A and B are shown apart, each in its own frame.
Chain A
Amino acid sequence: MPVLELRDVTKVFPGVVANDKVSFTLEEREIVALLGENGAGKSTLMNIVYGLLSADHGEILVDGEPVKIRSSRQAIDLGIGMVHQHFMLIEPLTVTENIVLGREPGRFGVIDIGTARKRVAEISERYGLRIDPDARISDLEVGLQQRVEILKALYQGARVLILDEPTAVLTPQEVRELFAVVRSLVDEGLSVVFITHKLEEVMAVADRIVVMRDGAVVGQTRPSETDEVGLARMMVGRDVVLRIDKKPVACGETVLEVRELVVKSDRGLDAVGGVSFQVCGGEVVAVAGVGGNGQTELVEAIVGLRKPVSGSIALKGNDITHASARSSIEVGVSHVPEDRHRRGLILQFNIAENLLLGDHRVAPYARHGVIKLREVISMARKRIEDYDIRTPSEKVLGSSLSGGNQQKVVIARELGRNPELLVAAQPTRGLDVGAIEFVHRQVLAEREAGKAVLLISLELEEVLSLADRILVMYEGRIVKEFAADEADAETLGFYMTGGGGTKLEATPPEASPAGAGVGE
């Protein structure tokens, strides 16, 4: 009997069928990978199981019994635990407080913190997930935070564990560690649903693979019966080119030159600790690294959003170290921000207004402080055409566009300005395959047009397929540089976690804050 079974689950959001009659089973001690692109409906399905969303139709059975799950409380009581893609941890609280939240031991409402700490210690001992129960979450690095999430589910008595894109924030080494943990959990009697869109992970960890596309299950298979190409075809519905061919482009003059750059984080620590590199015209330089190793601060310093402490930044020989965001745009730096919704566009603005951002003071769109609406609209229509933004008109609000179209608006705006340098921070995050291909083609087109591109990405696949040179960033420093053809994912991962001669190498893996952010 399956521990978890879904029958014909349907969920409709305004305008989208997120889940269309999805049926799914999970046997005891089984690892099922739920594979699909962004927006295929995987997370929606599992949020329904966890009681965060309610299905419009369909049935959920736990241990063969039909159940109604209306809240997370009920899911937890049924033995279902979930580790969310965005961690559900309260940063100022301790590990123990986070784990026991909702099921605090004690009497008359008074928490018995001693017992709580003991129970946390017991569970972490039993599953080999070591952690300091009194550490604050904000002081832990991402891998350890994920460990707290897993412990939280175990503390709540989970028998079914749902992991939503658990590897998105991890290095290849940490991913291997996670897989080991998952297997040991299965040995202890748990059953695991593993949500991902990464093919190689599925092949490595899953007993069975369920593939979703456009809200429906399109196939089931086992790792032994398929390969990555077959899975990709199933997932996308057509053949996918896993690597892009790049035309060779000769390196032109130096466009960006960064020297001994030191930048502080919001917390006042050195996030970027003396970084030097160059990007020349016709070249894509990628900065690879685990999130939180100073990439954000580096980008912000280059585009004028953060004042460097020391060092210099020059664009085509002109010093822009202390340039404001405004003058940085004016001298030809374009910026595709990592957080599309927060920094990339204004959701309440329409497409035309969004395309105007940054150019709203300059001719021909504005003169003497007055905006020339006619110019703006004709520009917007041209961009919509040129960059294939799918919309009925330029008056559609940013919030009603799909993620891919929103990113097209950002890219249309930044490239339409015809910049000298494009700084693209995680430009494909959360996009589907079609949109990713579009973004990659645009990046390469810039390169072929002789422009300089600085790409910041956490996706090694993307780094390897786009970059001419790869800089590995770790704890605010560039620890290694590769030519594109010298690197592979495994080697990059090794340097990304501080391997190869930094001070952390000697510490044992258990206590190692491998991949730790600099903010500690």
Chain B
Amino acid sequence: MSESRQVVPAQRAWMTLVLKAGTPLVSAILAMGVGSLIMWVSGYDPAAAFAALFKGSFGGPKQFGETILRATPLILAGLAVGYGFRAGLFNIGAEGQLMMGGLLAAWLGVEMAGLPSAVTVPVLLIGSALAGAAWAFIPAILKARIGAHEVITTMMFSHIARFLVQWLVNGPIKAPGQTPQTAPLGLSGQLPRIPTLFSESTLEALPFLGLGRAHTGILVALLAAVAVWLVLKYTTLGYENRAVGYSPWASETAGISVQWTTVKALCISGALAGLAGAVEVMGVHHRVFDQFSAGVGFTGIAVALLAKNHPLGIIAAAMLFGALQAGSGTMQLEAGVPQKIILIIQALVIFFVAAEQIVMWFIRKRQKEAISGAE
């Protein structure tokens, strides 16, 4: 008896870990399983597809760099959606705030071309965050004051942002030439690629640093993740955010302003989405064009859900989705599978995470097997 009792704490810790990380992990695996099934039914070879996918995302430093490149805005978009969720808000329109952030970075980046990087980069980042927050502000106010559902309003604002960008790149801030796009940022506003930070000899000595197109925006994303984690855990702002998310009534009773917390949460969410737009523009495109956001805001929803809104979990979830995106090109090229399969897998991930029961059933079955196997 005493022996089995000693086992209990260890088992408990294992259980908590399984419950915390297990469900998302199993969800991701299940989603890829169903994705394979779809590929197989469609006449593709899933094994070849995933092999190509892996090659394209983790096959070498350059490929891994591509994964990081894709994960960078996804971390920020995931944080944006996740922070909203923690306040009970579903910022389905992160995409729009992202566009506004990117737009501001593109405009300021051109205007500030002559200034030193040390000035330009922070100004662009802060400006983009403010632009994203501003775009979330009206839905936030409408939610707080009138109760207009943020799912509808932020979604609509996202469509409005799309046409705003379309108009601007076709007219007012269009660069000379045929293509409807803005002029490139000045060098001072660009986030340098990671390999450019090192000398030739260093890169030769340490080849894993040759991370291809990956840029320093990843540092911004990682810092933001840690910051959000600290805010949620150790500040009154985060405490009130979580309290309102769980129970607006109890929060109100405890003297927390639900309206003000809602506005803050949605604006912070918008600011994070705006940063996501900024790193895309400053690190990858160096300009803005129609639909430059490429659905990153929506993928952020899947990222946040997969991570169960945990800021550090979001890093891992974004890496997974980043890898899927980075490898999808190779997959199409080598195994012929349309890249859209990635969207399907994302949707399935959301399903499986949300419908925890299915996943729990799998986990429990495994546990039962493990327990009966141990006996």
Chain A residues near B (Cβ < 8 Å):
303-305, 324-330, 335, 337, 339, 342-349, 353, 356-358, 360-361, 366, 369-371, 373
Contacts and interface: CB of A to CB of B under 8 A. Distances in A.
Interface stretch (B141-149, B238-246, B284-292): B238-246
B196 interface: no
Interface in B62-106: none
B249 A326 contact: no
B255 A324 contact: yes
A370 B232 CA distance: 10
B225 to A, nearest CB: 19
B222 interface: no
25 contacts: A304-B255, A305-B252, A305-B253, A324-B255, A324-B257, A325-B253, A325-B255, A326-B257, A329-B254, A330-B255, A335-B253, A339-B249, A342-B250, A343-B252, A346-B247, A348-B246, A349-B246, A357-B243, A357-B250, A357-B251, A357-B253, A358-B253, A360-B254, A361-B236, A371-B235
Given A324-B257, A349-B242, A370-B234, 7 more contacts: A305-B252, A346-B247, A347-B246, A353-B239, A357-B253, A369-B235, A371-B234
A357 B252 contact: no
B25 interface: no
Contacts of A366: 236
Interface in B248-273: 249-257
Contact of A326 (B242, B247, B256): B256
A345 B251 CA distance: 9
A407 to B, nearest CB: 14
Contacts of A347: 246-247
Nearest to B230: A370
Contacts of B236: 360-361, 366, 369-371
B237 interface: yes
Given A369-B236, A370-B234, A370-B235, A346 B253 contact: no
B79 to A, nearest CB: 20
B253 A343 contact: yes
Interface centre among B235, B242, B253 (most CB of A within 10 A): B253
The 8 closest A-B pairs by CB, nearest first: A326-B255, A357-B254, A358-B254, A325-B255, A343-B253, A348-B246, A346-B247, A342-B249
Contacts of B255: 304, 324-330, 358
Secondary structure class of chain B's binding surface, majority of residues: helix
Interface centre among B234, B239, B246 (most CB of A within 10 A): B239
A431 B122 CA distance: 57
B250 A369 contact: no
B314 to A, nearest CB: 20
B250 A346 contact: yes
A353 B255 CA distance: 15
Nearest to A367: B236
Contacts of A373: 234
A325 B254 contact: yes
Nearest to A303: B253
B374 to A, nearest CB: 23
Contacts of A303: 253
Contacts of B246: 346-349
B247 A360 contact: no
Contacts of A357: 243, 250-251, 253-254
A324 B253 CA distance: 10
A361 B252 CA distance: 14
Given A370-B234, A373-B234, A343 B250 contact: yes
Interface of B: 234-237, 239-240, 242-243, 246-247, 249-257
Interface centre among B236, B237, B249, B257 (most CB of A within 10 A): B236
Contacts of A370: 234-236
A152 B247 CA distance: 35
A303 B249 CA distance: 14
Nearest to B245: A348
Contacts of A343: 249-250, 252-253
B228 to A, nearest CB: 15
A360 B250 contact: no
Contacts of B235: 369-371
A397 to B, nearest CB: 11
Contacts of A304: 255
Given A356-B239, A360-B236, A371-B239, A345 B256 contact: no
A363 B236 CA distance: 12
B240 A360 contact: yes
A361 B261 CA distance: 14
A345 to B, nearest CB: 6
Nearest to B237: A369
B267 to A, nearest CB: 17
A370 B250 CA distance: 21
A345 B252 contact: no
A344 B237 CA distance: 20
A327 to B, nearest CB: 8
A103 B249 CA distance: 38
A339 B252 CA distance: 13
B174 to A, nearest CB: 44
Nearest to A358: B254
Contact of B252 (A325, A353, A369): A325
Nearest to B240: A360
Nearest to B255: A326
Contacts of B239: 353, 356, 360, 371
A342 B249 CA distance: 6
Contacts of A342: 247, 249-250
B132 to A, nearest CB: 22
Contacts of A349: 242-243, 246
Contacts of B252: 305, 325, 343
Contacts of A346: 243, 246-247, 250-251
A329 B254 CA distance: 8
Contacts of B243: 346, 349, 357
B234 A337 contact: no
Interface centre among B235, B240, B257 (most CB of A within 10 A): B235
Contacts of B253: 303, 305, 325, 335, 337, 343-344, 357-358
B264 to A, nearest CB: 12
Contacts of B242: 349
A127 B5 CA distance: 62
A425 to B, nearest CB: 11
A349 B86 CA distance: 13
A348 B236 CA distance: 17
Contacts of A358: 253-255
A378 to B, nearest CB: 16
A24 B243 CA distance: 45
A98 B246 CA distance: 33
Interface centre among B234, B240, B254 (most CB of A within 10 A): B254
Nearest to B253: A343
A349 B253 CA distance: 15
A51 to B, nearest CB: 24
A343 B235 CA distance: 22
B257 A344 contact: no
A356 B242 CA distance: 13
